[in-house]
A and B are shown apart, each in its own frame.
Chain A
Amino acid sequence: MFQSIEIEQFRGFSRLALSDLGRVNLVVGKNNTGKTSLLEAITVLADPATMGDLHGLFRTGGGVPDARFYHWLPKHGADVETVLRVTSPGQKRRRVFVARKDRLLSSEGDKLDSFYRGNSLYGWCTAGVLRLRVHAVSVQHRVPDAMVDAFAEAVRAPEDEQQLESLLGAVDSRIRSVRLDAVAAKPFIVVDVGLRERIPLSQAGQGIYRLVAIFSELLGRKPDICFIDEIENGIHYTALPTVWKGIAEVSERLGIQVFATTHSRECLVAAHECFAARDSYDFRVIQLYRLGDVADGRTLDRKHIEAAIAAEIELR
């Protein structure tokens, strides 16, 4: 689990240092404060080899990585390099460097492996770091086939299947079970809502679709790190406590670190109340903001989250 992250010269961040991260982290901030950039930095830290695919992971439009995504170095100055650092309890030091071709300034004493060679930028990381599995649940990228695969994995173990159905049943008591069905050898997900036949998941409503997507990703893929973009999207506020309860239980049981984004105060309060009711308050808010042209941020612990809620201080 990442305990702290340092980002230098990466997209809008000149320098961002976040410490005291939690098992579950809710990233908040106005538009254009660097939420997606933070998720991209964490992705590269977790698995540097994803750098070449980063452009398609969280943003629409794609493009050539060098041209579209790695122009931050020229913006930050001629002789700078991107440095990403992370500390994880009991784990090997993990550093990522991105610089213009052959212009790496400092390896900070690390033995390095090369992981990216683009047209104008190269990337290196600490040699021998474990590649962590990262998955993202995005509202923008719905890929039904990928979701079917994740769902199939999620219900492979009876314990996971029961947890998924229990969570969905807590949100909508009509839901009795969720299964895979197929037409012309093409699988799809169906839901038993008490009708004569099960209905396709796509007809069960956006909220249920979203919940199945989130928990299939967590239970099925069992990533080391999971991103959930705009977690409240499509989910009624009354269901948010159940969603957070599920995320808390699954992430703890499977050792997944979660980074979710939101623009919803109700979502933030629901998350806080969920974790406050648990034995361990393993939840943090990462608040991003802009200082002039520069993105910056901080981690808020329980004391400050409670203070913000009590004083109705805007965190989003």
Chain B
Amino acid sequence: MANHMHDENKASRVLIVEGKGDLPFYAEVLEWIGRPIDWAFIKPMNGKRDVIAKLETYLRPDFLAAKASIGVVVDADETFSGTCKSLETALNKITKQDVRHGQWTAGPPRIGLFVVSGDGSTGEAESLVWRAWANDPENAGPRRCVETYLACMDGQGHRAKSPDKGRIGALLSVLSDEDPRLGPGARDRVFDFSRPEFHPLIDFLRRL
């Protein structure tokens, strides 16, 4: 299993992610792109709620001064543009650098922001992963099964709160025999990170 550096004080690179469930997923992505275990410290913020206050608290001046690069990866959720704008504004204020989605500042420290969406306007990490998996022609058959299952449940009056989380959960409950979430799924090699849908995220993480 991919892991990450455990001592945030010693790490020169820090990747901030939304939740503890995201941590193993991004650790697997970093391993996939060939980064060693101790390459970066991954800090989960335990949810997107109050994420700006969390960033203001976490990224104190001495912490910023001690790091070479800090990446922030968050879900777009209801609005990609709104999330980009609020995070860019907050990170600009905290770091005094011009932070833009998908880019890295010159630093020091280098600051990067990546807002994950499925279709460029809404969604979350599960949306991106589902889109990449479902667009693979090899998965056309199983994709119909998952969609049929969700549509059937919907027809019974049980609509998934987050459809893409529901799709990933249904998929992984069969293809991965553990916790049906992104991290264990990635560890079981269910997802193909070479798919073009992942390229922007992978490119971003390579530059951490």
Residues of A near any B CB (own CB < 8 A): 287, 289-292, 296, 298, 300, 303-304, 306-308, 310-315
Contact at B62–A310, with CB atoms within 8 Å? no
Contact at B62–A308, with CB atoms within 8 Å? no
Q: CB-CB contacts of B47-87 with A at 8 A, as 1s and 0s?
A: 10110011011101110010000000000000000000000
Contact at A296–B45, with CB atoms within 8 Å? no
Contact at B65–A307, with CB atoms within 8 Å? no
Contact at A307–B54, with CB atoms within 8 Å? yes
Alpha-carbon gap, A315 to B54, bound state (A): 12
How far apart are A270's CB and chain B's nearest CB, in angstroms?
A: 19
Alpha-carbon gap, A41 to B77, bound state (A): 47
For B, the interface residue count at a CB cutoff of 8 angstroms equals 16
Chain A residues, CB < 8 A from B121: none
- For the residues of A in contact with B, the DSSP-based class is mixed
Chain B residues, CB < 8 A from A287: 60
Contact at B61–A307, with CB atoms within 8 Å? no
Which of B45, B62, B65 is A311 in contact with, Cβ under 8 Å?
B45
Alpha-carbon gap, A182 to B190, bound state (A): 77
What residue in chain A is nearest B47 (Cβ atoms)? A310
Chain B residues, CB < 8 A from A312: 46
| A304 in contact with B56 given A310-B47, A311-B45 (CB within 8 Å) | yes
Chain A residues, CB < 8 A from B49: 310
How far apart are B63's CB and chain A's nearest CB, in angstroms?
A: 8
How far apart are B15's CB and chain A's nearest CB, in angstroms?
A: 14
Chain B residues, CB < 8 A from A307: 50, 53-54, 56-57
Chain A residues, CB < 8 A from B58: 308, 311, 313
29 A-B pairs with CB atoms under 8 Å apart are A287-B60, A289-B61, A289-B62, A290-B62, A291-B62, A291-B65, A296-B62, A298-B60, A300-B57, A303-B53, A304-B53, A304-B56, A306-B50, A307-B56, A307-B57, A308-B57, A308-B58, A310-B47, A310-B49, A310-B50, A311-B45, A311-B46, A311-B54, A311-B58, A313-B54, A313-B57, A313-B58, A314-B8, A315-B57
How far apart are B136's CB and chain A's nearest CB, in angstroms?
A: 35
Which of B8, B47, B57, B61 is A296 in contact with, Cβ under 8 Å?
B61
Which of B45, B50, B57, B60 is A289 in contact with, Cβ under 8 Å?
B60
Q: CB-CB contacts of B130-162 with A at 8 A, as 1s and 0s?
A: 000000000000000000000000000000000
